[in-house]
Amino acid sequence: MATTVLGEQQVHAAHGEKTGLWSWLTTVDHKRIGILYGATAFFFFLLGGLEALLIRIQLARPDNTFLDPDTYNQLFTMHGTSMIFLAIMPLSAMFFNYMIPLLIGARDVAFPRLNAFSYWVFLLGGLFLNVSFLFGAAPDQGWYGYANLTSRQYSPGPNVDFWNLGLQILGIASLAAGVNFFVTVINLRARGMTMMRMPMFVWMSFITQILILLAFPVITVALILLMFDRFFGTHFFIPAGGGDPLLWQHLFWIFGHPEVYILILPAFGIISEILPVFSRKPLFGYAAMVFSGAFIAFLGFGVWSHHMFTTGMGPIADTFFSLSTMLIAIPTGVKIFNWMGTMWGGSLQYKTPMYFAVAFIAMFIIGGLSGVMHASPTADLQQNDTYFIVAHFHYVLFGGSIFALTAGAYYWWPKMFGRMLDEGLGKVHFWLMFVGFNLTFFPMHIVGLNGMPRRTYTYPAELGLDLLNQIETVGAFILTAAFTVFLWNIFKTSRKPRNAPADPWNGATLEWAITSPPPEWNFSEEPVVHGRDPLWEAKRQRGGPLPEPSPGTGAGIHIPNPSYWPLVSAIGVTAIFVAIMLSPKLGAIPVVVAVALTFFGLYNWLFEKGYSEFSTPGGGGH
Amino acid sequence: MSDSAHTLATSTGLDSRKLAIWTFIGSECLFFASLISNYLVQKPRSLVGPFAHEAWTDPASGQVFEPIIEIPLVTVGTALLLFSSLFIVLALNGAQRGNRKQLLGWLGATLACGIFFVGMQVYEFNHFVHKGLTLQQNLFGASFYVLTGFHGTHVTIGVIWLLTMFVLALRRQLPPERAVNLEIAALYWHFVDVVWIIIFPVVYLIK
């Protein structure tokens, strides 16, 4: 017996409101795990934003002494690392968790406990990285950790170790989640939901999982090699021992460029859900959207060396990577035209999610255009390592990913929490964020082309860059205000009654067919799908809106039991890396103990009562 | 490890756990591809010996170091590892048909091969260190130990996994309807073998 089937009488006790710390520590419900991902990632996002604000204060004036160079290095490294691995990726994971099962009409993900494990490993990995601040030894070598900056010789402290081992921990979380969601999308679709009927967010998330599965092993190897260099005296990246620092760059960017699409494809998916709903038109060019997404992902593995034009790879490599990079503009352009085609002739409803979605298109185009500019090696030689690059990737990651994730938050908030976020505050949030974002990042194009290098803690007054830098800092404070408004909106909304309707936006996809928030078992009856916009089709057939659904009692529905073994296993895995960190002082014994703890957690997980077919004696294995 | 979702009918009819292990194997391909590439890049960059296939005289001490690679022992290990892939197929066949003797016998043989292979590698590492090839000595050593070491770790995990299956079979806990559990372990085991089929010629045979 793999799960608990609830009788009528038990239903209330088991399915009722579960609260308290223990229920969160042991939850395997994809919706709760999604909320955990969201809350944790938003905390890290605010932390990363605070780091950026300190950077902007330092750069507000030339020759400023607000931060010393060492602290500055730590702040920009942790800002980049946090925003990529601890904010944007897990904010996307929040939507994978909460939304994919609902969008495909499933009761949960394929492996609910593995899902909990991913979250706990992510949380502990994020804490591992940030604990470094308490020791005054946060990573300080830049988020892509180029050799030789990372060698023991040039970075003797624990800074790089926090980064190296922390990213290995986070990689485990991403890979486990990658397997889980890949299998979920392939195997748990509702009846009638063929691959080419899946909502676009599910498609883009699915492609993202493939990218994670293929890209993360490469950085894992790079990090392991660096770990051997730093802990065990090898010379993989150390020229004095024959090693090759450029090999690090290749390995890092073979991961790093697909990582860019890991950050943006879920955003594409969110936008592709929101635009049709607020344009009252089906997504334009569905198949083209699917294949352009897949093509972007495929090309994403063949462009990594455009990050390395300045290393002198020679004309053939430069030409190849330049052309492959420019090629990506084509499928991306297909997407942009399809989004505009979706809006064209639609009856546009300008609600807050739509504001963010439309701004996303505009901001992403700007970021995409500057990206095509430094696809040319000659242009890149001028732009590499300047603020022009900083401007470019903030237009795609902030103007792109963060705008889309915020759009998604406003769009799905009522589904997740049963309360509508305030529209008025939402629009204040939008305008502050839109103005603040452009004030902060647009002038960076200009100061970059004028020669201001990135990752330098100050600049001399003679360069004449003060005014633009001051404007950027003002923009950063406006962004702070924007997110303060968002926090206020969340707080204000949390005090309102839980009365959001099931389908506040006249949605097209399955999640709007069930109550807001959904019951623990999601769908009382397994949905059957006949097309790409199942809810619109149902409404059309009915000739009007659907009646408010009832959550049902959940009687007879299989719900996976809570489990604390994912947490124990996650603690074990993290302990291995803590033990490696301490191994120069404490030797190998703590590593062995941590490995033993991991196995202890895994075995109890695999043979857990109520889950494992092996926990019941004899042949009752179904 | 049967969670709720995959006991229901799946969209593809495939067992989710089986799909998951295939997915994981796909991901692992990139892991080993990176390690093998690293070996190929680093090996010729060694500044000092000892080397894989040539003798080396230390210019400082005049000491002569024999070539590190010795084919015979590792060939036996390779052969046994390859045979173990056949053995586990026979064990799985036994599990699926409910033939306990066949299951236990061939699973035992698979385990013996796996344990021999790990033992061989431990011996080989010790032996190579005595011949002067340490992890720190040169890039050939570093990339050799990291590549074969991570493969050996995978074999060790496979041995622990199959040992668990063996104990379950002994306790009559692996009837035909649960044979898929062994099938999943077997998929992993085959993968570890396939990786070795690539590592063996790359590291030991190609000069």
Q: What 3-state DSSP class applies to A5?
A: strand
Closest by alpha carbon to A132, among A82, A190, A69?
A82
Question: How many CB atoms are closer than 10 A to CB B3?
Answer: 26
Whether B166 has a pLDDT exceeding 50, the answer reads yes
Q: pLDDT digits over A438-467, tens only?
A: 999 999 999 999 999 999 999 999 999 999
Non-local (6+) Cβ contacts of A134 within 8 A are: none
Q: Is A269 on the interface with B (CB under 8 A)?
A: no
Q: Which helix (H) or strand (E) holds A4?
A: strand A4-5
Mutation pick from B2, B3, B145 vs chain A, by most beta carbons of A within 10 Å, is B3
pLDDT of residue A555: 79
User: In A397-500, where does DSSP find H-type helix?
Assistant: 403-417, 423-449, 466-494
* Sign of the dihedral through C-alpha A207, A209, A214, A219: positive
All residues of chain A having their beta carbon less than 8 Å from the beta carbon of residue B3 are 2-3, 110-114, 560, 611
Kindly identify which residue of chain B lies nearest to residue A222, measuring between CA atoms. B34
All residues of chain B having their beta carbon less than 8 Å from the beta carbon of residue A605 are 1
In chain A, the percentage of residues whose pLDDT exceeds 90 is 89
pLDDT of residue A557: 82
pLDDT of residue A615: 67
pLDDT of residue A17: 52
Kindly identify which residue of chain A lies nearest to residue B175, measuring between CA atoms. A619
Closest by alpha carbon to A114, among A606, A613, A518?
A606
Q: pLDDT digits over A170-188, tens only?
A: 999 999 999 999 999 999 9
All residues of chain A having their beta carbon less than 8 Å from the beta carbon of residue B29 are 217
Q: Rounded to a whole number, what is the distance in Å from the CA of B6 to chain A's nearest CA?
A: 6
User: Which residues in chain B (120-149) have CB-CB distances under 8 A to chain A?
Assistant: 135-136, 138-139, 142-143, 146
For chain A, the C-alpha Rg in angstroms (whole number) is: 25
Burial class, A448, CB count within 10 angstroms (exposed 0-12 / middle 13-18 / buried 19+): buried
Mean pLDDT of B2-28: 80
Mean pLDDT of A225-229: 97
Q: Is B26 on the interface with A (CB under 8 A)?
A: yes
Mean pLDDT of B98-123: 96
Whole-angstrom Cα distance, residue A602 to residue A611? 13
Closest by alpha carbon to B140, among B67, B200, B57, B61?
B67
For chain B, the C-alpha Rg in angstroms (whole number) is: 20
Mean pLDDT of B72-82: 95
Q: Do A3 and B7 touch (CB under 8 A)?
A: yes
Smallest Cβ–Cβ distance between A187 and the set B10, B26, B139 belongs to B10
| Tokens of residue B103, six digits | 């299951």
Smallest Cβ–Cβ distance between A217 and the set B20, B28, B146 belongs to B28
Q: Do B23 and A110 touch (CB under 8 A)?
A: no
Q: Rounded to a whole number, what is the distance in Å from the CA of B63 to chain A's nearest CA?
A: 21
pLDDT of residue A610: 78
Q: Do A217 and B27 touch (CB under 8 A)?
A: yes
All residues of chain B having their beta carbon less than 8 Å from the beta carbon of residue A521 are none
Q: Do A112 and B138 touch (CB under 8 A)?
A: no
pLDDT of residue A286: 96
Closest by alpha carbon to A5, among A533, A424, A559?
A559
DSSP A472-525: HHHHHHHHHHHHHHHHHHHHHHHTS-S---S-TT---SGGGGS-SSPPTTS-SS
* DSSP label of B204: I
Whether A3 has a pLDDT exceeding 90, the answer reads no
| Tokens of residue A101, six digits | 């099962």
Whole-angstrom Cα distance, residue A612 to residue A3? 9
Q: Do A247 and B19 touch (CB under 8 A)?
A: no
Q: Rounded to a whole number, what is the distance in Å from the CA of A183 to chain B's nearest CA?
A: 6
Whole-angstrom Cα distance, residue A328 to residue A350? 31
Give A556's pLDDT tier (boundaries 50, 70, 90).
Answer: confident
Q: Is B98 on the interface with A (CB under 8 A)?
A: no
Contact A281, A346 (CB under 8 A): yes
Whether A476 has a pLDDT exceeding 80, the answer reads yes
Whole-angstrom Cα distance, residue A184 to residue A165? 29
User: Which residues in chain A (178-207) have CB-CB distances under 8 A to chain B?
Assistant: 178-180, 182-184, 186-189, 193
Q: Rounded to a whole number, what is the distance in Å from the CA of B171 to chain A's nearest CA?
A: 9
